[in-house]
Amino acid sequence: MEFKEAKNKFVQTWGALGSQWGINKTMAKIHALLMVSNEPVSMEDIMEELQISRGNASMNLRSLMDWGIVYKEYKAGERKEFFTAEKDLDELAVKISRERSKREIKPTLKILKEVSTIEAKDSAEEKHFVDQTTKLYDFVLKADNMLDKMTEFNDNWLGKLVMKMMK
Amino acid sequence: MEFKEAKNKFVQTWGALGSQWGINKTMAKIHALLMVSNEPVSMEDIMEELQISRGNASMNLRSLMDWGIVYKEYKAGERKEFFTAEKDLDELAVKISRERSKREIKPTLKILKEVSTIEAKDSAEEKHFVDQTTKLYDFVLKADNMLDKMTEFNDNWLGKLVMKMMK
DNA sequence: TTAAACTTTCAAAAATAATTGAAACATATT
DNA sequence: AATATGTTTCAATTATTTTTGAAAGTTTAA
């Protein structure tokens, strides 16, 4: 396989993966493209490489910057804007994790708290509902904290210990 | 808030969450409904509660069973089929985690391996590509294993240790 | 202040994904 | 074997999401 083919394959694969999670395909592709580029890329080049419109490129770059995983750069002398992706993977994971927590997990926890604290009458049905949603609340909270700590303590002894556990 | 309202709120919320990840909204709603039901639910009831068609219910129940998080049950004397959800959350997490790994992470790893092992010419561009995709391969592999072990060793000392770390 | 270079916005169009409903398929009952 | 009860499939429809492209907006420079 030669370089151009490999690059394309990578970008398409990352795009498909993104769409399987909540991220749109083009957004993921742009991110992929930037991750494997060794220097800042202009909007023109992104449009050209991915065959997308200016509006599309602009909107998805905006989203990526909102997520904090793509940065705008200015080259001296050049009028155009250039873009780079966060390339440090640990840092990337932290940012994605934080963002998803903020956008999805926290609001969900709020609702779970609400619905799990209704006054349960004595029907088995209602008791089960309260019981199950309470467990869910605890579980989601635990998982959220865990993810948070895991990304935070990336390179330290705990991380290494966990690594060792994996043989 | 009264029971019916709380139940509905929970189902809608869980549905929205699902659609934000790769799972379709109705599928997530059915799962939510079953999780908070204290006894098996018939397809009729699911259709009624979620206001969806028979075909839709059937197809999404099939998917949920493929994921291994919903089971079919037969009630003695009844001709109809009933459905229940996996209610143990640790078990649920393990199954979802395994399934996503199989469906998404493993295929991605395969591609990453492929593209990261092209013969890099000496251009900085190609070197960076190989370097970055190799790092990505290692990272994804590490994350996949970690998730696997984490779910596997759920209740044991490692889990508890990690919990303690979180204060 | 005008023009040139570039970016953003957003309504309309296109693409994609989910849903319906009725026919085909199963299985149990009479 | 015929009927009744229930489930699955899938082509057509409907809903949702993404993309386009041109007008409006911004910034820099002459």
Q: What is the pLDDT of residues B89-133, one digit of tens each?
A: 999 989 998 998 998 999 999 999 999 999 977 899 999 999 999
Which residue of chain A is at minimal alpha-carbon distance from B154? A143
Domain locations in chain A?
Answer: 3-85, 89-166
Report, as an integer, the average pLDDT of A143-158: 70
Contact criterion met (CB below 8 Å) for B115 and A65: no
A-chain CB neighbours of B1 within 8 Å are 114-115, 118
Q: How far is the CA of A88 from the C1' of C4 (A)?
A: 38
Contact criterion met (CB below 8 Å) for A153 and A159: yes
Position with higher pLDDT, A23 vs B66: B66
B111 Cβ under 8 Å from any chain A Cβ: yes
Q: Is the CB of B59 within 7 Å of strand D?
A: yes
Q: Which of residues 38-57 of A touch B (CB under 8 A)?
A: 38
Report, as an integer, the average pLDDT of A73-96: 92
Distance in Å, alpha carbon of A79 to nearest chain B alpha carbon: 24
Q: Which two tokens stand for residue B124?
A: 């900085």
Query: Residue A71 forms beta bridges with which residues?
Result: A84
B122 Cβ under 8 Å from any chain A Cβ: no
Query: Whose CA is closest to B35, among A36, A89, A128, A167?
Result: A128
Query: Residue B129 forms beta bridges with which residues?
Result: none
Instruction: Give the angle subtended at the CA of B65 by the CAs of B148 and A134, to the nearest 5°.
Output: 65
What Cα–Cα distance (Å) separates residue A41 from each residue in A45, A77, A167, B160? 6, 15, 40, 46
- Enumerate the H helices of A21-123 as residue ranges: 25-35, 43-50, 54-66, 89-100, 106-116
The residues of chain B scoring below 50 in pLDDT are 167
Which residue of chain A is at minimal alpha-carbon distance from B121? A3
Q: How far is the CA of B47 from the C1' of C19 (A)?
A: 13
- Enumerate the H helices of B36-105 as residue ranges: 43-50, 54-66, 89-100
Q: Which two tokens stand for residue B128?
A: 């960076």
The answer, yes or no, to whether residue A121 has pLDDT greater than 90, is no
Distance in Å, alpha carbon of A133 to nearest chain B alpha carbon: 7
Q: How far is the CA of A58 from the C1' of C3 (A)?
A: 24
Burial-class residue B129 by CB neighbours within 10 Å (0-12, 13-18, 19+). buried
A-chain CB neighbours of B151 within 8 Å are none
Q: How far apart are CA B98 and CA B117, in angstroms?
A: 27
Q: Over the stretch A52-84, which tens digit does the pLDDT of each residue have?
A: 999 999 999 999 999 999 999 999 888 899 999
Q: What CATH class has B3-85?
A: mainly alpha
Q: How far apart are CA A115 and CA A40, in angstroms?
A: 48
Contacts of B61 (CB under 8 A, 6+ apart): B30, B43, B46, B70, B83
A-chain CB neighbours of B128 within 8 Å are 36-38
